[in-house]
């Protein structure tokens, strides 16, 4: 006669399993626990959701840059609850170079991203990182709104960075005194001589507006590619430009007075002491909005254009959070986010103006196009030295 113990064992195991399932409340196919409510109805407690993907975003700049990201990041996270952007702010003047050095060192040591997934900086760092192979090349398949960015601007950086906002040096002028501002550099130089004392530019070593004017004059008749050349051999071509700057000295404000910093010339324009200056477009717009400059102050870009250009966002090629980063970048390039950038930074949109509201298009008409990006490396320091000895000292 066969033993019944195996059958008893199986039955006991089944009964024990049922008891355990009853005690735990059972489980549905998604792993959610099913319980019986107080009135006997069945309730379901959802499973714990996957934690958001968190990436580190390093950026530097003045307080207004921090204020911008303090606005945009919560906007993005409200719409994308599966991405957590961790902003790391490096105050202006504290030095951003160690951040790039950390990215490069981590790559060279085979240690991934160095916990820096997304980085903001200028054209110099874009170029250096491209050369060092640290940035991820980007396309509109992963970031659809990238198609809204000017293709030539993307070509300048070979798609290794996103120009999310821009500003440029322009001519700022008093429209009550000037009805037809200069539109070319030749017209500007002629206007300065025809209107002694009514034009001012700041010491180029103290601010980008004055530096832009000086560079534009020096490179006026040089090959276009030289504004992207940091080779010292270019210095031999500077003589005609410096001669022009020396000749202008007697016609500029105060018979050769060069204010300190960008604000110095804006103050002269504000007080009516001059009627035409080179100035950063975002500074002009901000001070008009704040009532510091009258709304009769207008802007005009010239040809060839003063320097300007974008601030870029670069994705660390070693990051393992790229999909989340791409979501964030797509949001930054949306008209919604770009409008915040225009309002808070008074900068040009990173996307083409045709994608922005008509009001924004009208605001930047004639000044958001035509600027050039100078990338001459240490030659800028050499220009400042020579300007001090040959122009300021005369």
Task: Read off the CATH number of the domain in which 343 is found.
Answer: 3.40.190.10
> What CA–CA distances, in Å, run from 365 to 21, 314, 393?
71, 28, 39
Interaxial angle between packed helices 261-270 and 208-218, expressed in degrees from 0 to 180 and rounded to the nearest 10: 90
Tally of residues, the chain: 394
C-alpha 206 chain-centroid distance: 22
> Is 13 exposed, middle or buried (CB count within 10 Å of its CB: 0-12, 13-18, 19+)?
exposed
pLDDT at position 18, please? 37
Q: Mean pLDDT across the stretch 1-28?
A: 39
Does 19 fall in a domain?
no
What's the rounded Cα separation, in Å, for the pair 157 and 121?
13
82, 325 contact by CB (below 8 A): no
pLDDT at position 93, please? 55
Give the chain's domain count: 2
* 164 sits in which H/E element: strand 162-174
> Quick one: pLDDT band at residue 49, thresholds 50, 70, 90?
low
Same domain, 330 and 184: no
Same domain, 180 and 303: yes
Tokens coding 72 = 């945009």
* 284 sits in which H/E element: helix 281-289
What residues have CB less than 8 Å from 34, skipping those under 6 apart? 25, 26, 27, 28, 42, 43, 44
Same domain, 126 and 202: no
pLDDT in tens, 219-240: 999 999 999 888 999 999 999 9
Domain hosting residue 202, numbered range: 167-308+373-392
Does 17 fall in a domain?
no
Q: Mean pLDDT across the stretch 162-168?
A: 92
What's the rounded Cα separation, in Å, for the pair 211 and 342?
25
What's the rounded Cα separation, in Å, for the pair 198 and 6?
108
* Mean pLDDT of the residues in the chain: 85
Judged against a pLDDT cut of 60, whether residue 3 lies above it is answered with no
What residues have CB less than 8 Å from 213, skipping those under 6 apart? 169, 201, 204, 278, 306
Does 6 fall in a domain?
no
Same domain, 272 and 333: no
What residues have CB less than 8 Å from 63, skipping those under 6 apart? none
pLDDT at position 388, please? 96
Q: Do β-strands 118-121 and 308-315 pair in parallel, antiparallel, or remain unpaired? A: antiparallel
- Please tell me the pTM assigned to this model: 0.70
Tokens coding 262 = 């960008």
pLDDT in tens, 171-182: 999 999 999 999
Candidates 246, 209, 241; CA nearest to 222 is 241
Does 2 fall in a domain?
no
Same domain, 302 and 343: no
């Amino acid at each position: 006669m066969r033993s019944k113990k195996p059958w008893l064992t199986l039955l006991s195991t089944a009964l024990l399993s049922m008891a355990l399932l009853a005690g735990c409340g059972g489980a549905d196919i998604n792993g959610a626990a099913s319980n019986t409510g107080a009135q006997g109805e069945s309730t379901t407690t959802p499973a714990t959701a996957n934690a958001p993907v968190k990436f580190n975003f390093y950026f530097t700049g003045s307080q207004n840059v921090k204020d911008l990201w303090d606005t945009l990041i919560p906007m993005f996270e409200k719409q994308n609850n599966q991405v957590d952007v961790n902003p790391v702010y490096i105050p202006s003047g504290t030095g951003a170079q160690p951040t790039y050095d950390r990215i490069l060192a981590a790559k060279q040591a085979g240690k991934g991203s160095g916990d820096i997934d997304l980085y903001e900086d200028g054209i110099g760092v874009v170029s250096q990182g491209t050369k060092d192979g640290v940035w991820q090349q980007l396309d509109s398949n992963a970031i659809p709104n990238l198609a809204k960015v000017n293709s030539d601007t993307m070509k300048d950086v070979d798609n290794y960075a996103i120009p999310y906002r821009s500003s440029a040096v322009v001519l700022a002028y008093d429209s009550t005194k000037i009805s037809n501002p200069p539109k070319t550099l030749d017209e500007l130089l002629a206007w300065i001589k025809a209107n002694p004392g009514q034009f001012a530019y700041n010491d180029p070593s103290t601010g980008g507006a004055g530096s832009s004017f000086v560079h534009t004059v020096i490179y006026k008749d040089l090959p276009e590619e030289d504004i992207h050349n940091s080779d010292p051999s270019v210095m031999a071509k500077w003589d005609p430009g410096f001669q022009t700057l020396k000749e202008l000295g007697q016609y500029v404000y105060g018979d050769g007075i060069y204010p300190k910093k960008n604000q110095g010339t804006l103050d002269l324009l504000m007080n009516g002491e001059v009627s035409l200056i080179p100035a950063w477009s975002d500074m002009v717009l901000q001070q008009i909005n704040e009532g510091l400059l009258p709304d009769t102050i207008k802007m005009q870009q010239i040809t060839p254009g003063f320097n300007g250009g974008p601030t870029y966002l670069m994705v660390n090629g070693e990051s393992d959070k790229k999909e989340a980063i791409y979501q964030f970048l797509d949001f930054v390039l949306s008209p919604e986010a770009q409008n915040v950038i225009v309002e808070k930074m008074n900068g040009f949109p990173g996307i083409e103006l045709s994608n922005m509201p008509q009001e924004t298009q009208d605001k930047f008409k004639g000044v958001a196009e035509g600027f050039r990006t100078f990338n001459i490396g240490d030659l800028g320091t050499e220009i400042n030295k020579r300007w001090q000895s040959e122009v300021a000292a005369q």
